[in-house]
Structure 1
Amino acid sequence: MGSSMSEKLRKLVVGILLAWALLCGVRAQAQYNREYFFWVGRSCMMNNDYQEAIRTLNTLLRFDEKAYEGYFLRGIAKYNLDDLLGAEADFSTAIRLNPVYTQAYTYRAITRSRLGNYDDALQDFREAIELRPDLPGPYYSRGVTRLLNQQFREAIDDFDMFIRQETKVADAYICRGLSYLHLKDTTRAYDNFNLAIRTNREDPNGYNRRGGLHLEQEQYEEAEADFNKAIRCDSNYLLSYFNRALVYNATNRPMQALADFDKVIRLDSTNSLTYFNRAMLRTQIGDYNRALEDYDRVALYSPNNVLVYYNRAGVYAQLGELEKAVADYTSAIDLYPDFANAYIYRGRLREVLRDPKGAKRDLETAQRKIAEYRSRLSDSTYSIYADTTQRFDRLLSFDSKFAGGSFDRITGHNGGREEMRLLPLFKFTLMRPDTAAAPNPYRLQRVEDFLARVGDDLLTLSCRESNIAPDSLLAIDRRRAEELKAGDASWITQFERGVSQALIKQYTNSVNTYTAAIDRNPSNPFLYFNRSTTRAEMIDFISSIDNSYQRITIDSDPANRLNNNSKRTYSYDEAVADLNKALKLFPDFAHAYYNRANLQALSGRLPEAFEDYTKAIGLNPSFAEAYYNRGIVQIFMKDTRKGCLDLSKAGELGITEAYEVLKRYAQTQD
């Protein structure tokens, strides 16, 4: 009560003083008022009242547009409110007014680093260090940026420079240790984590980093000791409990592991990875009904993840609910038709259910998938990851599987908040006419000519799922295959087969078929366009198995974000290259800019994604999907106000999903 009253009094006094200062007259007391407003702005920021600081500094800048320190302080306030674009603009103004303002370069660099614009951030750090090579701060911040940009040796050099001047900052040792870890130098990584712990024995992060290294090296006793110390430092530090559960599981103490997973879920009730791990652990100890509850929760949060259905099918089989098990294996196969294991186990269940034909068909399909995989082991394409004959009952680790890349796959798992997904890529696909759909006012003659040339009434350009039944799609694909077998190898037939193969999720075959079509007609932009989409979809399915349970967690600590990166990364470079080729052949193709923006966003390059969405909107001012996705990207770039304006426009143009997102975010805007 007293604190609340003092806060109200403080604001009242500040308001009276500001009013008095204004009444005194700006000209008569110009220098005094200028210093006073600086003082009030700084005081507000010291009290973490950033919005009040911005209002105060706005008053100053109205009277003195050349006050570069005012723009700098306002930039810091905006940064602390996660308005990164606004902060960048203010730091840029401060630099324009004072080109030797070292701190403005440093803070703009940090802001650009958080925006994923590493090249410009590194240039700003270079300017700051050239202006003041004696300051330690820019070396540390540049080191973190280089870590994020995977320039590990250069990052170590920067942390060395920082540590020479500042020996008591634990995070510097942790970041240097992470750099060595990414260079596979575990000895030096371990030494740096030790230094971090000696520097600050109350920080759980150092113990967690060292414990994670012990865990990776199967030194379970040492790992457990470190995680215990981390928990003593902070009893609500989620990662400590999660990692200790992995230790307990590896040392055959399932009940203690379950207790730690329970604690993680109490701290974060939407943590799908923990539900998944707990489900596997419950299955191992025979607690099948509760394992089903956990898998059901994961399926709610991650409905397109193939392993959810595959593992849940095994639990149903243990409970004797064979029809439900077959249904889940079928769902896994629908999501990923190359899933050899799913065919094997479905075939065994069909045999028990007295369906010998179905069992034989599944076994033959599985054997064919395995043979195809083994024949491609020397292949460097994505098909080498198609082997699904491995086991999928091992627990997934937090660091390698949990948080993903810098943007953490927006189209993936978002703690159940489906409204935060990007709308999908556009492609030429097969759709039955939908009389309920709103007519699209945007027409491109070149697209219309292409559709007329192909001559398939079902072919359309859309980002929506096909409304044609799976059996019908299979029949269409068989017809296309028969046409090719009969000798019709025109680029049109090849293109149509590529479309049907992609729709039944035969991605590798679809890419190869599009490539054959491109060989026959290399100047057609739409062939590159569709091959790009198929390549991207193939990567998404591969990652759904390999990076099973990623969630969106934009971490403010760059070192944490880096360490959470998956061990295997998936590159959209080939898909982007196809779009670049399509745009070279057809520069006015708005949908190609839109697709490229999506892939930029999924790769963590948010400013580039924003630019491509803007280009798409420039070509098609009624491009509702581009407004929606640009709005989502701006929200993740912490420019929520502009993001909400774009979402509002998307809703106006017919994207109903926009209003669900606006309900969550519009209320936070002033």
Structure 2
Amino acid sequence: MRKILLILLLLAAVGPHRETKAQLNKAYFFYVGQNFLIDSKYQDAIEVLNILLRVDSTATEGYFLRGIAKYNLDDLLGAEQDFTLAIRQNPVFTTAYQYRAITRSRLGNYDDALKDFQEAIDLRPDRPGPYYSRGVTFLLSQQFEKAIADFTTFIRYDNKVSDAYLNRGTSYLYMKDTTRALEDYNQGIRTNYYDPNGYNRRGSLYLSQKKYDLAKQDFDRAIGYDSTFIPAYFNRALVYSNTRRPVDAIEDFSRVIELDSTSALTYFNRAILRTQIGDYNKALEDYDRVALYSPNNVLVYYNRAGLYAQLGDYDAAIRDYSRAIELYPDFANAYLNRSSLRYATKDLKGSRSDKETADRKIAEYRSKLNDSTFSIYADTSRQFNQLLSFENNFTDEEYQQVNAKSADIALLPLFKFSLAQPDSTRNAEIPQQFQPYYSEEAERFKKQIGLPLLKWVNRDSDVPPDSLIAFDAANGDSIRTGSDSWQIYFKRGLSQSLIKQYTSAISNYTAAIDRNPSNPFLYLNRSTTQSEMIDFVSSIDNSFQRIAIESDPANRLKTQSTRTYNYDEAIGDLNKAIKLLPDFAYSYYNRANLYCLSGQMSEALEDYTRAIELNPQFGEAYYNRGLIQIYLKDTHKGCLDMSKAGELGIQQAYKVLKIYGQPGNK
């Protein structure tokens, strides 16, 4: 309610004359939007800036500020679009070029990012910021000499930023100049004595040089200044492991897991150490976690198979070796080990076949020893139980610190007429001219029903249960005492659906339709109730699962079901509603949802698109269309839709963007 009152105040500040709105109140909108950004209230900032941009579509700074808000919500595509709009309004907007370049760099589009940085530098060569940001982009794109040049230029302008020294030191390190790298790390620490990152970088260098005492001192300092700094705990665990202190290493890895419970890399390393000290059962638990969070990593199954073999569970070990081979068919070690286990389980034919395959893989490997592209997994002399470093490729997905399964990402639900408290619906208090969508027919229908709490919503009713029961009883009494209007049957259908009496609700909606067959909203509510009844039945059936995102982004969206449910009658009602009222956006949205649940994705996309054409501010339709496009592996378009949904107030969109809007999750 506080947010709605704030928006009302902003609207009041706009004033009555449309032509003067932007001129008189632009600074006020900027002030409120900037304050929200300062307070890290990014979604609130977007709502306020949307009002500004609706009033004045040429407000350059409005697009820029909204781009910053989106960037901080991990909506990188949306941020890029807004910075582009700001530049289109003002082609010499230096900061917009810089921020668009940073955004493009995070998206992995280094070429365009570097062009933007150059534009910003050409416009204002005396500003140090673009040099630093471009240096980071050069570092990420492995152009280390250019990165060093930019960080050096930045330091010439501003020598008080420790990260500039640390990044330049890392660039030197990649060029194998450890002396200059160490000098820069030392200077970075002197510049900001309390920054744990400096100690961690220097400690990592000492660790690579096997100067374990110096490395541990630096990691201890980093943890002393920030007890939640994950890299320092992780790296200190590597020091303990290399100095034969596995118990201390396990303790540090456990601390990392406390801070990030989805870190597959850390579970993997802890499993190796637990195996080394003979704690096999806990090691097995760790490998199970790794398989959950990183299901396509071949080393997980290979190492776990070895552990199963030690525990005497040959069948489980063979399954894991088979999975490792499935993921990497050239893995000679896996064939050899599976061969031994098959021999032990009297599968002589399988054992012989595996041995022959392994010998062939080894021969191929030895013939290509000079070919650096040939996989290390064919090298039977290689050890696979070594700890992996924090920078290992294994971490690409694990350190997103996002678990899609916990994000509870699914289609947003159907719309219907329901009972809701006045302040429980989005934009309920905003004046009509600022409502994103208005239907004269829907307003007329509400007046015909005459219920003050009747709202068009897509969420459960927040009216107390005892009030719903009393409302239903009153409707039943009216029908029993002779009331026969379509309105009373609609009310009874509504009240019966709200107390989950779906069969009776559908019967009452049908009675209302018999008395008023040309009213589209009666068909809409009956359709929604039919769908809710199917969902209720399906919730009891464990074999059914709604469309949702799995924990591994590579698996995209899946519908897992052994039983299908028929939405034809519900879709039929929506067809009738659309025929009676063809320009009502929500009918297409609802039908798209049901098409989606029926597996008709192309039809669903068409209907979501039609809903958006009729209502360009339809955030829920953008969200659901984006979700379907991700399901169909058109991730770029899906994330653009998610960006628009987030801009229009759908908070769940940022959960999806955090998973799918990042490079590597396409």
Question: TM-score range, shorter-chain basis?
Answer: 0.5 to 0.7
Q: Which amino acid aligns with 2:146?
A: E
Query: 1:126-176 CA distances to partner (integer Å, 9 max, x unpaired)?
Result: 111111111111111111111122211111111111111111111111111
Note if 1:640 corresponds to 2:632. Answer: no
Cα shift at 1:258? 0.9
Q: Which amino acid aligns with 1:35?
A: A
Cα shift at 1:359? 4.4
Q: Which amino acid aligns with 1:257?
A: A
Greater shift, 87-96 or 286-295, is seen at 87-96
Match of 2:96 among 95, 104, 107: 104
Are 1:634 and 1:642, in contact at CA under 8 Å, matched by a contact in 2?
no
Match of 1:628 among 621, 624, 631: 631
Match of 1:248 among 237, 240, 244: 240
Greater shift, 94-103 or 152-161, is seen at 94-103
Check 1:145–1:34 CA distance in 2 against 1; reply closer, same or farther (3 A cut).
same
Note if 1:158 corresponds to 2:154. Answer: no
| Residue in 2 that maps onto 1:219 | 211
Cα shift at 1:287? 1.4
Q: State how 1:276-291 maps to structure 2 within 5 Å.
A: 276-291=268-283
Are 2:64 and 2:83, in contact at CA under 8 Å, matched by a contact in 1?
yes
Q: Which amino acid aligns with 2:93?
A: Y
Are 1:301 and 1:413, in contact at CA under 8 Å, matched by a contact in 2?
no
Aligned with 1:168: secondary structure?
A: coil
Match of 2:130 among 129, 138, 144: 138
What is the distance in 2 between the residues matched to 1:298 and 1:315?
14
Aligned with 2:188: secondary structure?
A: helix
What is the distance in 2 between the residues matched to 1:383 and 1:247?
28
The two structures have a TM-score, normalised by structure 2, of 0.60
Q: State how 1:290-305 maps to structure 2 within 5 Å.
A: 290-305=282-297
Note if 1:70 corresponds to 2:62. Answer: yes
Unaligned runs of 5+ in 2: 409-548, 557-563, 565-624, 660-666
Cα shift at 1:272? 1.3
Are 1:347 and 1:362, in contact at CA under 8 Å, matched by a contact in 2?
yes
| Residue in 1 that maps onto 2:186 | 194
Q: Which amino acid aligns with 1:640?
A: M
Are 1:343 and 1:363, in contact at CA under 8 Å, matched by a contact in 2?
yes
Are 2:97 and 2:120, in contact at CA under 8 Å, matched by a contact in 1?
yes
Q: Which amino acid aligns with 2:299?
A: L
Aligned with 1:404: secondary structure?
A: helix
Note if 1:182 corresponds to 2:174. Answer: yes
What is the distance in 2 between the residues matched to 1:351 and 1:251?
38
Greater shift, 316-325 or 399-408, is seen at 399-408
Q: State how 1:261-410 maps to structure 2 within 5 Å.
A: 261-353=253-345, 358-379=350-371, 381-382=373-374, 386-404=378-396
Check 1:187–1:265 CA distance in 2 against 1; reply closer, same or farther (3 A cut).
same
What is the distance in 1 between the residues matched to 2:186 and 2:210?
18
Check 1:351–1:31 CA distance in 2 against 1; reply closer, same or farther (3 A cut).
closer
Q: State how 1:487-502 maps to structure 2 within 5 Å.
A: none
Query: 1:368-413 CA distances to partner (integer Å, 9 max, x unpaired)?
Result: 32122101223354467633441111111111234239999x9x99
| Residue in 2 that maps onto 1:421 | 553
Cα shift at 1:233? 1.2
Cα shift at 1:355? 5.4
Check 1:629–1:241 CA distance in 2 against 1; reply closer, same or farther (3 A cut).
farther
What is the distance in 2 between the residues matched to 1:323 and 1:51?
52
Query: 1:641-662 CA distances to partner (integer Å, 9 max, x unpaired)?
Result: 45899xxxxxxxxxxxxxxx99
What is the distance in 1 between the residues matched to 2:179 and 2:193?
21
Match of 2:85 among 87, 90, 93: 93
Cα shift at 1:227? 0.9
Check 1:630–1:644 CA distance in 2 against 1; reply closer, same or farther (3 A cut).
farther
Cα shift at 1:70? 2.7
Q: Which amino acid aligns with 2:631?
A: Y
Are 2:236 and 2:249, in contact at CA under 8 Å, matched by a contact in 1?
yes
Check 1:224–1:630 CA distance in 2 against 1; reply closer, same or farther (3 A cut).
same
Q: Which amino acid aligns with 1:184?
A: K
Query: 1:74-109 CA distances to partner (integer Å, 9 max, x unpaired)?
Result: 322332333333322232222222222212221222
Check 1:361–1:99 CA distance in 2 against 1; reply closer, same or farther (3 A cut).
closer
Cα shift at 1:276? 1.3
| Residue in 1 that maps onto 2:535 | none
The two structures have a TM-score, normalised by structure 1, of 0.60
Check 1:642–1:12 CA distance in 2 against 1; reply closer, same or farther (3 A cut).
closer
What is the distance in 2 between the residues matched to 1:415 and 1:14?
29
What is the distance in 1 between the residues matched to 2:63 and 2:292?
46
| Residue in 1 that maps onto 2:589 | none
Superposed CA RMSD in Å reads: 4.1
Cα shift at 1:303? 3.3
Query: 1:464-509 CA distances to partner (integer Å, 9 max, x unpaired)?
Result: xxxxxxxxxxxxxxxxxxxxxxxxxxxxxxxxxxxxxxxxxxxxxx
Check 1:348–1:104 CA distance in 2 against 1; reply closer, same or farther (3 A cut).
closer
What is the distance in 1 between the residues matched to 2:374 and 2:91?
48
Query: 1:492-539 CA distances to partner (integer Å, 9 max, x unpaired)?
Result: xxxxxxxxxxxxxxxxxxxxxxxxxxxxxxxxxxxxxxxxxxxxxxxx
Aligned with 2:384: secondary structure?
A: coil
What is the distance in 2 between the residues matched to 1:42 and 1:624?
31
| Residue in 1 that maps onto 2:249 | 257
Cα shift at 1:57? 3.1
Are 1:377 and 1:384, in contact at CA under 8 Å, matched by a contact in 2?
no
Unaligned runs of 5+ in 1: 1-6, 425-435, 437-621, 646-660
Check 1:16–1:245 CA distance in 2 against 1; reply closer, same or farther (3 A cut).
same
Cα shift at 1:332? 2.9
Check 1:627–1:334 CA distance in 2 against 1; reply closer, same or farther (3 A cut).
closer
Q: State how 1:562-641 maps to structure 2 within 5 Å.
A: 628-630=631-633, 632-633=635-636, 640-641=642-643
Are 2:342 and 2:351, in contact at CA under 8 Å, matched by a contact in 1?
yes
Q: Which amino acid aligns with 2:550?
A: E
Greater Rg over alpha carbons, structure: 2
Same amino acid, percent of matched pairs: 58
Match of 2:53 among 33, 57, 61: 61
Check 1:195–1:418 CA distance in 2 against 1; reply closer, same or farther (3 A cut).
same
| Residue in 1 that maps onto 2:162 | 170
Q: Which amino acid aligns with 2:379?
A: D
Query: 1:308-334 CA distances to partner (integer Å, 9 max, x unpaired)?
Result: 232222222322334443443344334
Greater shift, 253-262 or 297-306, is seen at 297-306
What is the distance in 2 between the residues matched to 1:46 and 1:312?
48
Cα shift at 1:23? 3.2
Aligned with 1:270: secondary structure?
A: coil
Greater shift, 95-104 or 319-328, is seen at 319-328
What is the distance in 1 between the residues matched to 2:311 and 2:267?
20
What is the distance in 1 between the residues matched to 2:92 and 2:48?
25
Query: 1:590-629 CA distances to partner (integer Å, 9 max, x unpaired)?
Result: xxxxxxxxxxxxxxxxxxxxxxxxxxxxxxxx99996525
What is the distance in 1 between the residues matched to 2:397 and 2:265?
16
Are 1:341 and 1:388, in contact at CA under 8 Å, matched by a contact in 2?
yes
What is the distance in 1 between the residues matched to 2:205 and 2:406?
28
Are 2:206 and 2:215, in contact at CA under 8 Å, matched by a contact in 1?
yes
Q: Which amino acid aligns with 1:250?
A: N
What is the distance in 1 between the residues matched to 2:364 and 2:152?
50
Check 1:222–1:15 CA distance in 2 against 1; reply closer, same or farther (3 A cut).
same
Are 1:630 and 1:643, in contact at CA under 8 Å, matched by a contact in 2?
no
